[in-house]
Amino acid sequence: MRKIILSMAVLIVGQAFVEAQENMTYQKPSLEILELVDYERAPFVMMDELKENLVFTYQNTYKTLDDLNQEELQLGGLRINPVTNISSSVTYINNLKVRKFQDENLLQVKGLPANSRITNLTWSPDESKMAFTNTTSNSVELWVLDIGSATANRVSERPLNANMGKPFSWYNDSQHLLVRVIPEGRPVLTDFKNSLPMGPIISNSDGVKAPNRTYQDLLKNKTDEDNFETLVSSELYKINLKGEAALFMGKAMYGGESFSPDGNYLLVTTLEKPFSYMVPLNRFPQKSVVYDLSGKEIRMVNEVPLAEVLPKGFMAVRKGKRSMNWRNDQPSALCYAEALDEGDPENIVEFRDAVYQWNAPFTSEPKLLAKTIDRFGGINWGNENLAVLFDNWYDTRNTRTYLFNPSNPDQTPLVISTRNSQDIYSDPGKFEMHNNAFGRDVLLMDKDNLFLIGAGFTKDGQFPFIDQFNLKTLKTNRIYQSAFTDKMERILSIKDVKKGEVLVQIQSKSEYPNYYLRNLKKRIALIPVTRFENPFESIANVEKSLIKYKRKDGVELSGTLYLPVGYDKVKKEKLPLLIWAYPTEFKDKNSAGQSSSNPNQFTFPYYGSFVYWVTKGYVVLDNAAFPIIGEGETEPNDNFISQLVDNAEAAINAVDSLGYIDREKVAVGGHSYGAFMTANLLTHSNLFACGIARSGAYNRTLTPFGFQSEQRNFWETPEVYNSMSPFMNADKMKTPMLLVHGEADNNPGTFTLQTERYFQALKGLGASVRMVLLPKESHSYVAKENILHLLWEQDQFFEKYLKN
């Protein structure tokens, strides 16, 4: 009798398990959504420096599962296709067309490879050509496009090694390229799964603190090390446009090559051993050496040890030379920064960093150029007497801009701007750059004036601008400000400062973004450069507006509100509401209350938003502001949950006050940190009928050395990590939730395991939850089959738990 009962129990359990799984084939969403998803992507446009030639690049709207179903090795932070020797995540271009700036006739590029898979398009120094790679079924090829004749040719038959990124650099003469190629006699890769190990895997800690974040795709064993070295090792060849090749440098793990502005020297950076199982390749040992054009070593200019151990904090850096690059306005001078606080943010010093210049042939000592109060953030070079220097400090969100004289280090750099980097209303803009005689970016100058191009966010809306900055008076004069109230303008660049010609992009809610030439000196109509059509006509008349409202503590909030086509604002039918959001940390209420949304931005539905559902009778609040504020000594996450709930309540109240929604039928959703937000809102409030959480992390003890903008570790603030973790509060979660995750997530901290374990906890505790794992997908989703099915899942979920 006992045996029979046991057998029946096993049968019942087995039936429950089968019923819990759905062996479903891929589904497609309803017609209203499908016609928005299945569209043809407009080409991207690349322009030369003088805006004389345009190259139009075409690519498929989506990848396919077949694109993702390729061989892949995950090593040292890289995801590599070991057959083709290029990143497995590349999005390819399938066609190229060219035209003159003022000519609307597009020329199809002749001679392109069949079934083109193009990437790494790069202008030659004289901008008469573009080099690119084409990926075949088993290799990466080098090709060159001649702009004038609109003809492409394969330059070399040698298989390139693109595993470390773009595998070529142009020589200054525009006739030769320095190319990474697969070494002769490269070892065969080892299959770790089917090979017997020679011993255990051992890691050591010597008592020194090494607070590293949770990285993906790290090396795990000796086989990984061997395969990594094999895959990133290359030989450097000098190849001319006829395909004639000469070995320039032998086999090494090349990480970067850059010619000096005058083209007489080459800076080469190689990865060195030992490797690490704790950090990705950018923290492996490195060596940087300068060579002349014959390949003769001039000087080793930097040697970086393995950087497994760094001080705590976002502003921590390693000791020694870093950010080493050629100075753009000098023939052959290297510039680099070095920490004066030993790279430790906790050390109190007058200056955090020093910036040095080192002139070729590097026989003399480097000379000090400037010191920065906070962490070095980069330089805009001008000429021998003028450059713009930046620094920043995350903890205070402060950013500072200096003018300094590179020829006179005794002259103290002049601070011309210091501001909260999150205060977008006070943003002075970015200095306009142009190519100098070396073909390098330097400050655009007209007599004693520089130029700043700003996004122009204000409390009254967005009005992009161009300011003229006088170097003598240090004052700005606004020479242009967009006056559009029904369109959105982006100022892209100053084409000709003398003529007052400016390249802009203009769009509206229903007008696809297009390029135009604006003349600031002549009152003439905008000159169209492109004429791309709106591929989403079915939602062209959707009502879209920016709504502003306040949180109960007075913080200003905003979001972009969409109403279905034909919605009667007089009768005000009560519709379901979908809220899509992503929380952001701030150090002050003023910055948190500012809005960067523009209601005139083109309505571009994509899988990462809920906009599709305006076609199905839903109200959508997109990009709802969810600031998390921690002023003074208080960190934002000290009050994360309460602020999340306050943000959500304010958003629902704002839309409800307009009379459009049934507040009993509200859903919330988010991706990544937005998924983390969604799970917490469903756990700690009763505001929502359901929620959708995609590719999130739900147990913060699995990211113990910081996450998102949290610098403190778990052992410093266990109450923060535990209270913020939906996994730790899974017993409180009773609201229906759809959990979605890419099967092969590559984002630090958001392992697919996070969703799997959270689902198991919720299921075990009796919550209403559905988990969908999308095959082959990383942190963002790219395959058409998966995206269509995702939208179907979301649609079915809303119909079940929200609309009905």
* Cβ-based neighbours of 610, under 8 Å, separated by 6 or more: 578, 579, 580, 618, 620, 622, 669
Q: Is 672 a catalytic residue?
A: yes
Tokens representing residue 199 in the block: 């011993």
For 444, the 3-state DSSP assignment is coil
Distance set, CA 339 to CA 203, 284, 306, 421, 767 (Å): 29, 19, 17, 22, 51
For 748, the 3-state DSSP assignment is coil
Can you tell me the distance from the alpha carbon of 709 to that of 664, in angstroms, rounded to the nearest whole number?
33
3-state secondary structure 248-304: EEEEECEEEEEECCCCCEEEEEEECCCCCCCCCHHHCCEEEEEEECCCCEEEEEEEE
Can you tell me the distance from the alpha carbon of 482 to that of 209, in angstroms, rounded to the nearest whole number?
52
Tokens representing residue 803 in the block: 């609309």
Is the distance from CB of 269 to CB of 285 less than 8 angstroms? no
Catalytic one among 467, 779, 789, 795? 779
What are the b/e assignments for 626-638, b being 16+ CB within 10 Å? bbbbbeeeebbbb
Using DSSP bridges, classify how beta strands 140-146 and 129-135 pair: parallel, antiparallel or unpaired: antiparallel
Q: Is 745 a catalytic residue?
A: yes
CA nearest 265: which of 438, 442, 388? 438
Can you tell me the distance from the alpha carbon of 325 to that of 330, in angstroms, rounded to the nearest whole number?
12
Tokens representing residue 591 in the block: 């910055």
* Cβ-based neighbours of 193, under 8 Å, separated by 6 or more: none
Catalytic one among 260, 745, 789, 795? 745
Tokens representing residue 438 in the block: 């070396």
Q: Is 741 a catalytic residue?
A: no
Catalytic one among 672, 695, 725, 778? 672
Question: Which amino acids are annotated catalytic?
Answer: 672, 745, 779
